[in-house]
A and B are shown apart, each in its own frame.
Chain A
Amino acid sequence: MSDVITRSQPAPVMIGGKQRLSVIDCDIHPQFGSKDEILPFLPERWQDYMKTYGGLYRQALADTLSHPRMAPDVARNDAWPPKGPPGSDLAFMREQHLDANNIDHGMLMPLNRGPANQRNLDFGAALAHAVNDWQLHYWVNPEPRLHGSIVIAHDDAKAAVVEIELRAKDKSFSQIMMPPHSIEPLGRRKYWPVYEAAQACNLPISFHVSGVNGFASTGSGSPSYYIEEHHTNVRGMQSLITSMVLEGVFEQFPQLRIVLVEGGLAWAPSLKWRLDKHWMRFRLEVPHLKRPPSEYIREHIWFTTQPLDEPDRDQDLAEILEFIGCDRVMFSTDYPHWDFDDPRFVLGKLALSDEKKEMIFSGNAKKLYNLS
């Protein structure tokens, strides 16, 4: 019968059986085509530095992650373009993802070389600046559906603020990006200048799971398995919210908006219940909090869907989303990584009204990022 090797393009993502659903993807990973691709974006001094010393992450083995990943380059096996690593080829990304999945807007989440992981803070700042130029050159300028994230090395808050202020004028960037695994809990005052700048520029801060801070990922050492380490992404997000709320970040910066990417969401209700309960008892310890912690979370935190929590009954997920607030949940895929979520699948799992589905797939992100 047939000799067909290429699959036909997937059907457009439809809602209500007829209408094409507009999709905004809050998590797309662009990658360097080769490790030297970033060099021309660095000043000579840092090019030399990079060639001589490489990166110095905050752990014993320089330039490595704590655990080997699930798949080569953390990627879907089918996301390798004809040349270069997954996520490095715009034409391939357009065909396999942007066009095939109705992506009207995509938020870039460059994890490349982890500027914020660098122990040499000046190198970190130079690298962040270079990655931002690289995003414009290779991705945002040639593809208007893609939006940049301002990468910063936040442990030098002063340098980070310079970078934010420089980029915030450029509409090619829609948000600021930081790793949740930081050296100090993220509500601490050393990071406040960054939050102040974000508020002043009216840009959300997106925390995408990542960060090599030199600490074991659990409170009792390094886990044996990747599956175990992978789960610490959830705890990382919980610590981040807890610290920001309890340190009073949202009292200080009442317009600050935070996006959590790839850390799940089904745990959010229980965190809210517990924090509120503790706050009733320990309120005097944190008198700067004027409201129960859950209210700060409800107001300031946006959650993204991928990797979708998959309870047996879709109704259970819908209840959790309602509890969090469907206006605070945004769709994401994590393309081209191995735990990518397909929009058709997520749409099928949302036991919500069409109106709420549209909010999650595009409406909320449109509002947050001021997109048309």
Chain B
Amino acid sequence: MTTSAPSTRTRHVVARAGEIKPGDRKLVEIAGRPIALFNLNGEFFAIGDKCPHEAGSLCKGKLGSFADSDEPGKYHLTHQGEVIKCPWHGWEFDIRTGQSYCDPQQVRVRSYDAGVAHGSDLLTGPFKAETYKVTVEEDYVVINL
């Protein structure tokens, strides 16, 4: 999570911070690219919305955990609430990194640098916000791209 962006990238204002509650998500688009944005206990994470398998919309999936096991008959859960499961065939992705569970080396979705910026910060620097009227009073979710 960052609140400022390197100068080579553009800050895209994609939502008001208050409109996505913890545990919730929103489908946003930057330059025609669909991106799934998640609020995980107040932190924001963004990954490409299209599943690398058959392009199901990850934003429509279920959030859950990875179930891991060291031997048959035993299991434990990790990454609770941080795993999005594709609504089509259930491939699982870590919303922090975009990595898949079954093939983390080769299968991943792009993860984007998302964070919260205060309206007053934004008004001083370059940013893009087509549908939001940015005001100094509010916090916004920003994706750096």
Do A and B interact with each other, yes or no? Answer: yes
Which residues of A does B touch, CB under 8 Å? 1-7, 10, 70-71, 76-78, 338-342, 344-345
Asked whether, in the complex, the Cβ of B62 is within 8 Å of the Cβ of A77, the reply is yes
Give the distance to chain A from B31, nearest Cβ to Cβ, in Å.
8
B88→A344 contact, CB < 8 A: no
Inter-chain contact B12/A5, CB cutoff 8 Å = no
Q: Are A338 and B55 in contact (CB under 8 A)?
A: no
Query: Known contacts A4-B29, A5-B27: does B90 contact A345 (CB below 8 Å)?
Result: no
A342 to B56 alpha-carbon distance, docked (Å): 9
B87 at the interface (CB under 8 A from A): yes
Distance between Cα atoms of A10 and B54 in the complex (Å)? 12
Minimal Cβ-Cβ distance residue in A for B143:
A1
Pick from A3, A71, A342: contact of B131, CB under 8 Å: A3
Range of interface residues on B (Cβ < 8 Å): 20 to 34
Cβ-based interface call for B130 (8 A):
yes
B30 touches A2 (CB 8 A): yes
**B57: Cβ under 8 A from any A Cβ:** yes
Residue of A5, A78, A339 with most chain B CB atoms under a 10 A cut-off: A78
Q: Smallest CB-CB separation from B14: which chain A residue?
A: A1
Shortest Cβ gap from A348 to chain B (Å): 9
Closest to B15 in A: A3
In angstroms, Cα B14 to Cα A10, docked, is: 22
A1 touches B129 (CB 8 A): yes
3 closest pairs, A vs B, by CB? A77-B87, A78-B60, A3-B131
Instruction: Kindly identify which residue among A10, A77, A338 contacts B60, using a CB–CB cutoff of 8 Å.
Output: A77
Contacts of A2 in B (CB 8 A): 14, 28-30, 130-131
Chain A CB within 8 A of B61 CB? yes
Q: A338-B88, A338-B90 are in contact. Are A4 and B132 (CB under 8 A)?
A: no
What is the minimal beta-carbon distance from A85 to any residue of chain B, in angstroms?
15
Q: Are A1 and B12 in contact (CB under 8 A)?
A: yes
> Whole-angstrom distance between the alpha carbons of A76 and B14 in the complex?
27
What are 9 contact pairs spanning A and B, CB under 8 A?
A2-B29, A3-B132, A7-B27, A7-B57, A77-B62, A77-B87, A338-B89, A339-B89, A342-B55
Residue B81 at the chain A interface, CB threshold 8 Å:
no
Is B34 at the interface (CB under 8 A from chain A)? yes
When C-beta atoms are compared, the residue in chain A nearest to B28 turns out to be: A2
The minimal Cβ–Cβ distance linking B59 to chain A, given in whole angstroms, is 9
Q: A4-B28, A345-B53 are in contact. List 7 more A-B contacts (CB 8 A).
A: A1-B12, A1-B130, A2-B131, A338-B88, A338-B89, A344-B54, A345-B55
Chain B residues near A78: list those with CB within 8 A: 56-57, 60, 87-88
Kindly state the separation between the CA atoms of A147 and B54 in the bound complex, as whole angstroms: 26
Residues of chain B contacted by A3 (CB below 8 angstroms): 15, 28, 131-132
In the assembled complex, which residues on chain B have CB atoms less than 8 Å from the CB atom of A339? 88-89
User: What is the chain B residue whose CB lies nearest that of A307?
Assistant: B89
- What's the Cα separation between A71 and B88 when bound, in Å? 10
Digitize B28-39: 1 where CB-to-A-CB distance is under 8 Å, 0 elsewhere.
111000100000
Residues of chain B contacted by A341 (CB below 8 angstroms): 54
Indicate if the CB atoms of B30 and A342 lie closer than 8 Å: no
CA distance A264 to B57 in the complex (A): 25
